[in-house]
Chain A
């Protein structure tokens, strides 16, 4: 039972980031209160170095730590996306926390810990590790959601997120217990092998897998497990919401993909129908309720629920080996598109937000087109991308996704996807109409990092949509390896 350098290589990015976060926690003590930008810079540097290590591992495929963690194209792709999200999250937060008077060094350390949990989640090939990664990513997020204390709305957001997150964890743990009881192992590869043997109790295995699905449904905010999302997204500090909406979603879907595609292909017959219903419900409910929202944070929260539905579509054909890899690639591509668009949109929200939760109504965006044309143009790009209109990454992502779903034989689901996208055009374009057609005097803040993030994400959203092939090819190499 000795660990070799190969084991450490598998988890090298994760180990590096966790160690960096621990050291940063200590270093932060010696950084004076008014110079917390240094902590932000060090945290971003840690993420950038880890990103370098991750990218240097492209093409390596191996397992480590006694089959508990894997390094493959999938984990490298997801980890790179998560690390970029972390960097964008810090760039958005840096000026925001200062302006809101909640600048504390722990913010950045907690963010690093959360990213490390998400990365572990993408690499976990054992249900024990999935559980630990889930908690490592969630617990810092509970704290971050309540970070604007003593502001009551933020504390309540933290509390609600905590209670429902812990509730979801209960389902995941009990589901894991049943899967362990049915198969005698927690390793994903072991579960596949055991599921094939006739002595395994299919009933126990199915209930276990369903409970795990419920737990992850909470994490990725799929209907009917979405009730916490609007409240938490609205109450949490906006920079945290931006990070949470992308990071937690990417990690949750990565874990779902790995667990279901590698461990439960035998249950595909039962699970496909459940996933179909979840995806359809999530798209419909998210988009329909978003129409009546007047608060931009709540509207984007429902939009994020709706997008969870679109990404869930990629899971529906997971039991069909012919289209599995294409649909996983389409799902990953959509996650990239969603992450960039999402960070940009929340960046614009941060630029307009004032203290004491002012400047968050959609009506506050009136006149933005005349007063700050660049910001309004960026917001227009993000809204078009969320609807799925050209020339944006959102459109390309949806095209790939619908194509994969239709290839899998689920045309009905694709039709629901197109119809709900049409519904969503109403509330996204309402923001654009408000910005350009209505009179108003919106005030915005100018912060270097915030403007850079918004500009960068807008450019990525447009430019990559013109040459999507290279990105999609990279996503196609990110297939899951079954070890």
Chain B
């Protein structure tokens, strides 16, 4: 059996990649994918922990995270489509109509 530490280290790496992706990439869609990676790295950690701890509440939590992520996708993609229609770009650096 693979030790649980491996899963946690993998999830930490995935989380770090996700955070880096949000900070580095400028395309809104890619940023959003990086955020999904962060959520899924958390899911991996939770599932790994709950299999070690023999606890079901963690697995239930993962279902909630998946469901909520789907709800976020619905809102996020709708927003991106709207902005793309107006600007033909979803580059966040070009979202500069708000300045003070």
Interface residue SS majority, chain B: helix
Query: B86 to A150, Cβ gap below 8 A?
Result: yes
Q: Which of A84-92, A174-182, A259-267, A398-406 contacts B (4 or more CB under 8 A)?
A: A174-182
Across the interface, name the chain B residue whose C-beta is closest to A233. Answer: B98
- Chain A's closest residue to B73 (CB) is A166
Does A433 lie at the interface of the complex (its beta carbon under 8 Å from any beta carbon of B)?
Answer: no
Which one of B28, B75, B92, B98 has the highest number of Cβ atoms from chain A below 10 Å of its Cβ? B98
Which of B22, B79, B83 sits near A167, CB closer than 8 Å?
B22
B49 with A181: CB separation less than 8 A:
yes
- Residue ID in chain A nearest B86 by CB atoms: A152
A149 within 8 A of B: yes
User: Which residue on chain A has the smallest CB distance to residue B18?
Assistant: A170
Within 8 Å by CB of B49, from A149, A163, A177, A235, lies A177
- A173 touches which of B42, B55, B79 (Cβ 8 Å): B42
CB distance from A56 to the nearest CB of B (A): 31
Shortest Cβ distance from A218 into chain B, in angstroms? Answer: 12
Kindly list chain B residues whose C-beta atoms are within 8 Å of the C-beta of A167: 22, 35, 38
B residues within 8 A CB of A186? 57-58, 61
Q: Do the beta carbons of A156 and B76 come within 8 Å of each other? A: no
Determine the interface band of chain B, counting residues with CB < 8 A from chain A.
35 or more
A163 & B35 in contact (Cβ 8 Å cutoff): yes
Set of chain A residues within 8 Å of B41, measured between Cβ atoms: 174
Is A325 interfacial (CB-CB < 8 Å)? no
Q: Which residues of B contact A128 (CB under 8 A)?
A: 57, 60-61, 64
Determine whether the beta carbon of A131 is less than 8 Å from that of B64: yes
Q: Is A323 an interface residue (CB 8 A)?
A: no
Say which size band chain A's interface belongs to.
35 or more
A143 an interface residue at 8 Å Cβ cutoff? yes
Instruction: Choose the segment among A24-32, A291-299, A370-378 that binds chain B (4+ C-beta atoms closer than 8 Å).
Output: A291-299
Contact flag A293-B100 (CB < 8 Å), given A167-B22, A174-B15: yes
A91-129 contact mask (Cβ, 8 Å, vs B): 1 or 0: 000000000000000000000000000000000000010
| Chain B 43-58 per-residue mask, 1 if CB under 8 angstroms from chain A, else 0 | 1011011100101011
Flag B72-100 by CB within 8 Å of A: 1 or 0 each: 10011001101101110000100101101
Mask of A145-161 contacts with B, CB within 8 angstroms, 1/0: 01001101101111110
**Given A139-B75, A177-B46, A184-B55, are A294 and B100 also a contact pair (CB < 8 Å)?**
yes
A434 within 8 A of B: no
Instruction: Tell me how far the C-beta of B48 lies from the nearest C-beta in chain A, rounded to whole angstroms.
Output: 8
User: Beyond A131-B65, A139-B72, A295-B100, is A158–B79 a contact (Cβ under 8 Å)?
Assistant: yes
Q: Which chain A residues numbered 132 to 148 have a C-beta less than 8 Å away from chain B?
A: 132, 135, 139, 142-143, 146
Of chain A, the residue at the smallest CB distance from B41 is A174
Residues of chain A lying within 8 A (CB to CB) of residue B38: 167, 170-171, 173-174
Q: List 24 A-B contacts (CB under 8 A).
A: A128-B61, A135-B72, A139-B75, A143-B75, A152-B86, A155-B83, A159-B83, A160-B92, A162-B72, A162-B76, A163-B31, A163-B35, A163-B76, A166-B32, A169-B35, A171-B38, A173-B38, A173-B65, A177-B49, A181-B45, A181-B53, A184-B55, A230-B100, A234-B98
Binding site for A on B (CB under 8 A): 8, 11, 15, 18-19, 22, 28, 31-32, 35, 38-39, 41-43, 45-46, 48-50, 53, 55, 57-58, 60-61, 64-65, 68, 71-72, 75-76, 79-80, 82-83, 85-87, 92, 95, 97-98, 100
Residues of A at the B interface (CB closer than 8 Å) are 128, 131-132, 135, 139, 142-143, 146, 149-150, 152-153, 155-160, 162-163, 166-167, 169-171, 173-174, 176-178, 180-181, 184-186, 230-231, 234-235, 293-295, 298
Given contacts A150-B85, A166-B76, 6 further A-B pairs with CB under 8 A are A135-B68, A155-B83, A157-B98, A166-B35, A176-B46, A180-B58
